[in-house]
Every structure is written in structure tokens, then in C-alpha cells.
Amino acid sequence: MVGRHQGGLNNLRKVSITIFSYLEEPLSNVRVYRQALKTNTQLRKQNILLLDELSRLRAAGQRNKELRRMLQFSSESELSLYPVQIVGKELNQVTHSLTVDAGTNQGIKKGMPMVSADGLVGKVIVTAAGYSKIMPIYHTLFRVSAKLQQSNAYGIISWSGESGEIIEELQLNYVPQTTEVDTGEVVVTSGLSNQYPPDIPIGKVIRTEPRQGKETQKVFLKPFVNLYELAEGFIVKFEPDTSIKKLNKQYEEILE
């Protein structure tokens, strides 16, 4: 029977092969497509992991860079510095504040300045056992005696607090109109107030405005410190000279 129908079997085999050849191509495409989808999903997962690792490496690199700057600043500074980390920020109101992880247990006292590798940050206003509250330079009550580094003209630094937001500029008031102030000139603490050590950088001049009917001008400066990006700094263990305080008190008593 096989021999008798050999020709028919051969024809059936040819037809079967032809049919399967037509079916195999789309089925093969489906398999390739499914495999491509699986591979694509794996590659996307791998890409996300690589991007996450790259982001962490960049953050670590930036932090290492900042820590190196702080270490260099600490080693070169003649001030008595205590390193602190910022554990709390309130930058959404006129009365901005920072919280750092050091307090009375670490010898931190009210009135001590806070600095970073860039410059002046603010001053300690409240202390507890292990934490302190900092009044930053962006505060309507913050004042510091400062001077222009080139001309040595003196003034008082303040922040207007307009619109209740951090406007990234401070004012140096009471600078005489006759003083020539150049854009880019650096402003530092003067040391005259007996509250801050001298020559701590504050910012650089961006513009000036004359005051109508006044003998002084307004000097606007951009601070070196960015409070939004600030994560750590130093408390300067500086206390006012008590002899100067006593002298000032005696002078006030004489005038009364």
C-alpha cells in the first residue's frame, strides 16, 4: 500500500512542507517579537539601575568635593571652628531659620556666628543640649557690620524680606555717596560690632542706588552662601570681648 501510494505521499509531503513554510515565517516573527519585548524590558530595567547608580555617583562626587572644600577651609582658617550639619530648614517665611546638630553640650552659645566654606551663614539665636537654631543672613532682623574690601567703606548688612520670599540679594546701608563702589567688589565682616570676627566673606556687589536727599547710598550684593544648597558648615566659637562690652555699658551710663 505504501508503494502503491508513494506518489500521493510525496505530494502530501510537499503540500505539508509548503503549508508549514508559510506558517513558520509569521510564527517565527511572533517569537522574535516576543523575545525582543522581553529583551527590551530587561534593557530598560538595566538602564534605570544604571541611571540610578550614575546619579548616586554624581551626588557622592559632589559631596566629596564639598567636604574637601570644607576640610581645606578648616585647615587654613585661624578661627575656632566646630563642624555642624543642618538637620532642619525653614525657608518659606520671612523669619527663616536653620537647625544644626550641635548645642550647649558641644560648647555652642547664643550669638556665635555660623559660616561655610563660602562665607557667612548667620548666627546662633537659641541653643539646646544637642541642637541650635540659626538666624540666617536672609532674615529681616539680621544685622552685621561690614565693609567693602577695597575701599574700606563701612556699613550695615540687612535683608528687606520683600514679598516674604528669599530674594538673593542683601543691602549694605550707610555707605557714603562719595565712595566709589565697583561691581564685583567683595564685602566682608568689619569686626567693629564685637559680634563677628573680621574679614568673613559675605558677598559681592551687584549694583548701587543713590538715595535721594541722603548723603549715603544703597549697595546691593549677592551673598556667597546659597541656603537652599547648604547642608553643613561651622559654628565659630567666637564670643564678644567682655572688656569692650563693659566699656560700652559704662559709656551708655554716662550719657544717661
Query: What does the pLDDT average to over 64-93?
Result: 83
- Does 163 score more than 70 pLDDT? no
Confidence (pLDDT) at 160: 81
Confidence (pLDDT) at 1: 44
Q: Of 220, 197, 181, 91, which is closest to residue 144 (Cα–Cα)?
A: 197
Least trusted range by pLDDT, from 1-5, 8-12, 63-67: 1-5
Higher per-residue pLDDT: 217 or 23: 217
Q: Residue 25: which pLDDT band, with cuts at 50, 70 and 90?
A: low
Candidate ranges 4-8, 76-80, 217-221; pick with highest mean pLDDT: 217-221
Question: 79 is written with which cell numbers?
Answer: 578661627
Q: Of 152, 173, 162, 187, which is closest to residue 219 (Cα–Cα)?
A: 173
- Does 6 score more than 50 pLDDT? yes
CA atoms within 13 A on the CB side of 59: 8
Q: Of 221, 224, 195, 187, which is closest to residue 207 (Cα–Cα)?
A: 221
Least trusted range by pLDDT, from 160-164, 177-181, 213-217: 160-164
Q: What confidence tens digit (pLDDT) does each residue in 168-204 have?
A: 789 999 999 888 999 999 999 998 877 899 999 999 9
CA atoms within 13 A on the CB side of 229: 10
Give me the phi and psi of 108, to 5 degrees please: -85, 135
Q: Check: CB of residue 83 under 8 Å from CB of residue 234.
A: yes
Confidence (pLDDT) at 15: 65
Helix (H) / strand (E) element for 237: namely none
To the nearest whole number, what is the mean pLDDT of the chain? 83
CA pair distance 114, 89, nearest whole angstrom: 14
SS3 148: strand
Least trusted range by pLDDT, from 38-52, 100-114, 147-161, 239-253: 239-253
Q: What confidence tens digit (pLDDT) does each residue in 26-64 have?
A: 656 666 667 777 788 888 888 888 888 888 777 777 777
Query: What does the pLDDT average to over 101-119?
Result: 93
Q: Of 210, 20, 225, 72, which is closest to residue 134 (Cα–Cα)?
A: 225
Q: What is the pTM of this model?
A: 0.71
Confidence (pLDDT) at 212: 76
DSSP letter for each residue of 199-213: T-EEEEEEEEEE-TT
pLDDT above 90 coverage of the chain, percent: 41
